[in-house]
Amino acid sequence: MTNSLRIGEYVIDLVDDHPGTPRDASVVYPDVPSSAWEPYKDIAFNEKGQFQAQWRGHLVRRIDGTGPVILVDTGMGPGPHEHTGKNGLLLDSLSKLGVAPSDITAVVTTHCHGDHVGWNVTWEDGKPRATFPFAKYHPALNDWNYYSQPGVSNPAFQKSVMPLEDMGVLHPVSGEFELAPGVTTLPTNGHTPGHQCVRVESGGQVAVITGDLFHNVAQVSEQDWCPTFDWRTDLSTASRRWLMWRAQMENWIVVSGHLPTGRSMGRIVDRDGKPAWEPV
Ligand SMILES: [Zn+2]
């Protein structure tokens, strides 16, 4: 049960923003019959029996304090958010880690959905400014190309990604882009056209920050279950199976984008012949 992970020379910290909107599982996973949830109902839902994701980012930095300070995703943003009336706390969570917005040198966007880009830009008097003023922002080029097409609607992209171009801080990436020695993006397309994970390798250990490769712990065991948010379920399933297989076989630690805080970092282990989640 941890929110902070040491990987060789690096540390990965969870940066909480806000609890996500609770929804019925049948709404999020319309193709999964309710009876199929039965084996997972104790671990898959909140106390009211609903699907509820957590909105967050992750911080990757060296333990010796040198080198880049990388923020992977920026949560849902300032709010106040409708279902709680409360504000997002990403900047407060960063502050508790001793990190100011001006310390961040790179912002990696796993994908351009609203709950991952919310703090990218701060709007004041109708004008946007980069919340992390000295950071290069790295969405995937595939997402940038797709969502910047005329006629493709994504209000969060318009509000929190598009303005970065004119600020000169936008640096879209493709393939396995090196952010720091041993730290790279890892394309896992399907949830969106340019969904990417971030892989951290150091001292013989590997962790991978998975964005929206999966949204619920049941998907570790049921890897072909797809939420309605997936852009192409054939591709998201292929990416999920590929990455989860590698993580299981090579003992990677998986740092999930949306599992409940305290149980969101774990390994994929074999349990009775099926992959299962084991928090670290
Ligand atoms: Zn998400």
Distance between Cα 236 and ligand 1 center (Å): 13
Distance between Cα 113 and ligand 1 center (Å): 7
pLDDT digits (tens, 9 = 90+) for 193-219: 999 999 999 999 999 999 999 999 999
Q: pLDDT at residue 192 above 80?
A: yes
Distance between Cα 271 and ligand 1 center (Å): 27
pLDDT digits (tens, 9 = 90+) for 28-60: 999 999 999 999 999 999 999 999 999 999 999
- Residue 237 has phi, psi (to 5 degrees) of -65, -45
CB-based contact 170:157 (threshold 8 Å): no
Distance between Cα 213 and ligand 1 center (Å): 9
Distance between Cα 156 and ligand 1 center (Å): 12
Distance between Cα 260 and ligand 1 center (Å): 13
Distance between Cα 20 and ligand 1 center (Å): 9
Question: Given its phi and psi angles, is residue 77 left (phi above 0), alpha (psi -120 to 50 degrees) or beta?
Answer: left
CB-based contact 59:68 (threshold 8 Å): no
Distance between Cα 33 and ligand 1 center (Å): 22
- The per-residue pLDDT of the chain, averaged, comes to 97
pLDDT digits (tens, 9 = 90+) for 259-276: 999 999 999 999 999 999
Distance between Cα 195 and ligand 1 center (Å): 11
CB count within 10 Å of CB 168 equals 9
Instruction: Please report the pLDDT score of residue 2 as a whole number.
Output: 83
Q: pLDDT at residue 1 above 70?
A: no
3-state helix/strand/coil string of the chain: CCCEEEECCEEEEEEEEEECCCECHHHHCCCCCHHHHHHHHHHHCCCCCCECCEEEEEEEEECCCCCCCEEECCCCCCCCCCCCCCCCCHHHHHHHCCCCHHHCCEEECCCCCHHHHCCCEEEECCEEEECCCCCEEECEHHHHHHHCCCCCCCHHHHHHCCHHHHHCCECCECCCCEEECCEEEEECCCCCCCCEEEEEEECCEEEEECCCCCCCCHHHHCCCCCCCCCCCHHHHHHHHHHHHHHHHHCCCEEECCCCCCCCCEEEEEEECCEEEEEEC
Distance between Cα 258 and ligand 1 center (Å): 7
Nearest to 186 by CA among 207, 165, 168, 156: 207
Percentage of the chain modeled with pLDDT above 90: 99
pLDDT digits (tens, 9 = 90+) for 92-120: 999 999 999 999 999 999 999 999 999 99
Instruction: Please report the pLDDT score of residue 271 as a whole number.
Output: 95
Instruction: Please report the pLDDT score of residue 106 as a whole number.
Output: 98
Distance between Cα 11 and ligand 1 center (Å): 22
Q: Residue range 225-243: average pLDDT? A: 98
Distance between Cα 203 and ligand 1 center (Å): 30
- Residue 6 has phi, psi (to 5 degrees) of -95, 125
Distance between Cα 118 and ligand 1 center (Å): 11
Distance between Cα 214 and ligand 1 center (Å): 9
Distance between Cα 64 and ligand 1 center (Å): 31
Percentage of the chain modeled with pLDDT above 70: 100
pLDDT digits (tens, 9 = 90+) for 68-98: 999 999 999 999 999 999 999 999 999 999 9
Distance between Cα 154 and ligand 1 center (Å): 14
Is 0.75 topped by the overall pTM? yes
Q: Which domains does the chain have, with CATH numbers?
A: 4-279 (3.60.15.10)
Distance between Cα 139 and ligand 1 center (Å): 14
